[in-house]
Each structure stands twice: as structure tokens, then as C-alpha cells.
Structure 1
């Protein structure tokens, strides 16, 4: 790094340290990123104020090919972009060479879904909780896994349909009516096992939706309306569902903690594995765009690939014959 470049970097770091009051660790990371920038520029014998857009793009490509993650590159670019914004305010550069440069997109991780056996084991599990809690949790699991509901849709369900109800379950028609993302309503089928679990829960739930039958006056109206409630009579929250499922998965002996969206992913993956009908899965999940649903085809392919590797004679690795 030449003297002029080193001076500019030092002044900028002083600026973010004193005027922007960034944390010491953040300033250290900025210094490391600007050190990379200076080293790249020095290799080309280019001063930092003379760096162009094509230089930045070349260095991004080099970082990407070198194995740096898209997120890591994005953080580095953010530091560089801030530096050149500051140089522009000082009148030292006419444009920001990093302004329209984006990091390579990181591959989207596959949704986490349970294997069929694990999902069934989880759904069939009966805890040692009192009958009221066990019936409620079993009904929740059956709706999340059996109908692919989002946790927000689940906790928004009321006992009966009404003008103010976000959603409800029609036991006679075996259908759940839910209010999904974007305030879009959809109807999904409710399976026999889920209907049985819901029927048992409603028998034990009580008219006021509490384990004790004595909610406070402030919670009485909501307790009477909500399908799933806590022991104190208030509508069950999404956070409480997360906690209950995590606990249930540990008690059931599963290797991974289960959360509500994992059951939704499992529902979609298992229906797709059995039917191959992507459009039907899209409708059941309430996805506005089928590209959102297509991620489950990758899960389905993984399932097929494992079956192929296990069953097809040409997929089995063979030990090469020695000469």
C-alpha cells in the first residue's frame, strides 16, 4: 500500500471510529476489508482513487472462485462501498466503483423436512402430560403436518366460523379455512387422523378454552373463540407452539428439534413424493408463485437419488479390478 492510500484508509477508519461511533470490532473488520482492497489495487499498480468498476468486478470474481461465500463477499463489498462513498464526499472520486456491484447469489438452502418415518413417529408420540395438554398438542401437530398450515394460520383458527374469524375448521366437511400471507384465504383438506385428534381436543378443551375453566374477564372472549389456547385461557401464541414442538420432539427421541415450519415442509415434501403433483402442492400450501413450491422438487429428487443409490445395481460403487 503506498503512502497516499495508507493515509486515506487511516482517515476513513478514524471517521467511522469517531464520527460514526462504530464498534471496535466493526472497525477492525473494515480495516481488514480495506487491506484486501489495497492489496488488490497494489497488484495492478492502481491507486485507490483510480479503482474502476471493472476492477471491483474482477476482484469479486476472484474471491468467488477462491471459495469465499456470497455472504462473505457481500460484507466485503459493503465495506468497500462505504469507503468510496466517503471518498466521494471528500471530492476525491467522481463516482463509486462499487455502487452497482453485487455479490454472487448464495444457493438457497433446502427446507428442512423430516423423513417420513420420523414424521409419523413424531405425530404418533404420546407424552406424559395431562390429558388436556396432550390432546391440544396432538391436534396441533396433526394440523401442521397433516394440512401443511403455517404456525400463524394455526394459532389464528377459531372454534367456529364467524365474521371476525381469521380461520376455522369445518369438521363435517373435513376442511380447514385459513387466512394466509397477503390476507389470502384458502381451504385445505383435514385428514381422518387430524379430525379424530381435533374431536378429542374439543371434548377436553371446555367452553372457555382453559385447563381450569376459569379465564380472566379480559381473556374470556378470546378464550371462547380460539381453537387453541393456553392453560390460562389466552389464545396460544406462535412462540408457545415452537416451544411445545421442540419439547415434544425431544421427548419423542428425534435427533433434530422440530419446529412448525419443518412440519409444513415435511407435509409438502411427502405429498410431492407420493403424488408428483407440483400444482396441487402449490394450492395446498397457498403459494402465489409456483417457483416458491419448486424448491420441494429438490427435496423430492434427493429422496429419489437415495432410493436409486440403494437399489440400482449400476449405482453401487464397485472396487476396481487389479491388473
Structure 2
């Protein structure tokens, strides 16, 4: 198992990627990443060295806090126990997790949730869910113009999903849309949770109503995605609702939601892939994900093609312009072969 210094060194080798993931409100300025604080506020008082012998070291000029990227992960995620910090770092780096060790109480599964590996907790949570059809999560997606979400096995509903405020530590529970994150073989590596307002008015009124748990890097939430056959053509993007909106008008095309721009850039291509359509997000992080995935696709001999919405995102297009207009817009962006194969 890697030591703390080894983990910090691995993170420092990917300092900018770490910053883009955990401090997404910041930006690169020369050889530094600038952001407001470890809570990911906008500003410039915290700076992280991105290259050179001090890569990964950071200082908050306003508070006097400083440390390495393990300290940054701990503060950004609100973690206390080093075991949880190390687990988070290993997941980010896609390193194998150490075998769980039993304590005096018996099997590790009997301990509190934080003591179980994140992938195990994700799988356990998914087993506790119920089918999506007719639930509050189904109603939420229908309000977003996504009418056939219950046909996707990756989507489930949890009526009372645990939520912890990372700032105050207070805990509560809300109904939630649960999405399975899987690898290319279909094995669950994580889950994505979208907490919902119990009264049915959009998302829950919390600071961060969306969170992922488990192994994301290289994986994603998959829709209409075969796990036993080659996948010559697919579409990939960040958000679940973005990809569900595309799937609504192209139900035959395999799709994957990688959940963040950094994880989109690192998505693992399926065997036999020839073309990948990348659903555009207009922000800087979205452009970073598109550029990263495009470069990797080209290096693998795969043709990357970007799909752009007319409005802010593809869910806006679906809701405000309607499925007919969205279909026409996509027809102009797909190859003629794919337009015939995947559009009505």
C-alpha cells in the first residue's frame, strides 16, 4: 500500500487535474492555480504550485493555511480520518484499494459507512434502491422533458438517502435519483446521487444536491450501452440529464455520462469504437473535458465529433425547443450514416 508521501507525490504529478477537480471555481495563472479557499470559493487568495519542485504545495494567503495535495483533498471533501483521505486520493488516481481489515467488532461491513471501501458502499446503496417508474425521481425527470427514463436500468430511486453537509457536519436524508456508474464490463464501480425536494419542487435545498461515490475515472453512467459487443459509435458527455436528453431523441445510440469534465477527459473507450460524439458544455471546464477526450480519441484512432446545443445545454433544447427541433439540430451534426441509423 502506498504511503502518505507516495500518494501526495502521485497527486503532485497531476496537480492541475487535482485542482480542476477539487477546486473547480479557480483558474490557472501561469504556474499556479488560483482560487478563493479550500472550500472552492471564487477568489485568488489560495494558490497551488503546479510545476517544479514545489508542485502540489499550496498556501492560503488570507488564512495562513498551507499543505500538500493530500491536505487539500482532506479540506475540500470535509474528511477527518486519514484512512478516508487516502481512499479518496486512491480513487481519484484510480489506484487499487487495500483489502478491508476487520476490527474488534467483527466484519468491516458492520462498522460505520466511512469504514467500508467506497465502491462497496456504492454497490450497497444501489441494492437499497427501487425501480424508477412512478417515483419522485421519475416525476422530476419528466418535468425536465425526459419521459422514458424508467427504461434505463442504470437509474433507480431511493426514498430517503443519507446526506451530510460537508461544512457543518449535520446529517439528514432526502429522496434521491440514484445512477449506477459502471465499467466497460457492466460492473458497478460507483453511484451518482441527485437529492430531490420532498415536495417535488426540483432538487433538494442543500448546498450540493449532486454527489458521486466510488470509482469514476474511466467509467460512467451508461444508457443503451451493450457490454458484450463492440461499440463502434457512442455519445459521451458530462451530465446525466444532458445525455438522457440526447437519448430521448436518439434511443438507439449508446451513451455515457462521465459526470465531470475531468472524468470525461479520462473516459475509457470501448472495444471497436470508431466514432465518439462528445456532448458540449459551454463552460471552461466543459471545454477542458472535450479537448482532453478528443486528444485521447485521436491517439487511439477514433474520430471525435462535438455535438453542440442551440441553447445552454441539450436539456434546454429538449424542453424549450422541443424534440423535433433537437432532432433536426442533431441531424445536421451527425455523419449521414449515423443520422440514418440513430435518428427517427
TM-score range, shorter chain: under 0.3
Q: TM-score, normalised by structure 1?
A: 0.21
The structure in which a higher percent of residues are helix is 1
The structure in which a higher percent of residues are strand is 2
State which structure, 1 or 2, has the greater radius of gyration over its C-alpha atoms: 1
